Structure 1
């Protein structure tokens, strides 16, 4: 077996082990359930609120949008894992192993993607009973959900790796979360984007979160619901095009940034970060 294949196999095994451990650790379990439960509560209160004269409930519009939002948030999860492992020396140990960085990244992709699927299931299964009128029984709808989710992960996970390489400590992750929350607010997740100012619509369309939400809505909502979207259309070609563009950008930038970050890692830098963290405590 080639060294690369061995690294991929080790990364796969590592990712499955870490994913399994995340469901046996109390803190990780809270993380898995807290956000889906909060989103379920939000959806519950929106289920009987109508949007204008469209006849559509905000709950029906929000549920598929939240699926897309969670896929976009995998970028933040990837960044947090990478930054934490860089700070505690895990990344340095991976670097010291032949093809260790490849195995490490494969493991993190399995961990984040697997955790995302679990979180989506925790939200979606009860949500199917809360909000009527969605196309849960249509095989074509689930196929659309699948390709949007896969393409969304390819678009966002490399970006998360880039962000995790840029920030040197877990405390700095707050600098990522605030802009992401602002982006979610203008991306039509909890309220149709056409109700927002035009400048906000243009900003939202430049990033993957809006297109992930739009793709999920196109899968699960009736065709008539497209009337509340920009241009009155689901724009599947544009959705795929923007997500592919972000995927290409991330896949090109991530290896370069990760190699540069790995070259700068050393025992002294890890020790300095640890000493700084102890001083804060």
Structure 2
């Protein structure tokens, strides 16, 4: 089935969300609408829609003008089985003691390594991105230094690769959360595929905004592999839900965004312990000061 995309940008979150809401009322109706902060440090927000029939270009032009956005860039995408394509293109990832692989590479898991089976799916976080790899390596470094964690949260979990990794090497239970219900379903399926279904709970939530997340606090290890803006907004809540001397591992950041995120967490009572870079991406490990 052919697919069309319509993309534009706006400088303010509120305006971008308003345009996104207006797109949902468009005819023909889009099959999906997304509003995302761009990761290039520009401060712009991308608004996009997907259509299974050609969109009304005049209506899109009027919507963009009415909301002060640039004209929509409209493209027709070729018919592609994207999941199959991604499976073919993804290669196993080494991240400390962890080895992230798809089922097509099950015979390549090295002896003595902790395998994380994560298939390509309609959710973020296959484990092959530099941010996820950075988080796995950061946890590996903490464990190598003799740290032990019994209460772990994975905020914005995507496919839950980080939560699954924690469940495979730590004694305590792990809770994962995501704002996307599809991601929660994928996370639960991945936990089962990796033999930790009973150890990883998954809930739909923004940040720590769920009764189960609040009930399990304080956490001695929290992952948050999301974006700069949400990470900064989350800093006070992260401090409130972290144990004294608890660690947080943060990513989803471009290298030049790391100083702003670090500053927000230092202001919230954390100390930077590690900063690693993979490609264009940074991963931060911080420890909450002993109250």
TM-score, normalized by the shorter chain, greater than 0.5: no
Whichever structure has more helix as a proportion of its residues is 1
With normalisation by structure 2, the TM-score equals 0.25
Whichever structure has more strand as a proportion of its residues is 2
With normalisation by structure 1, the TM-score equals 0.26
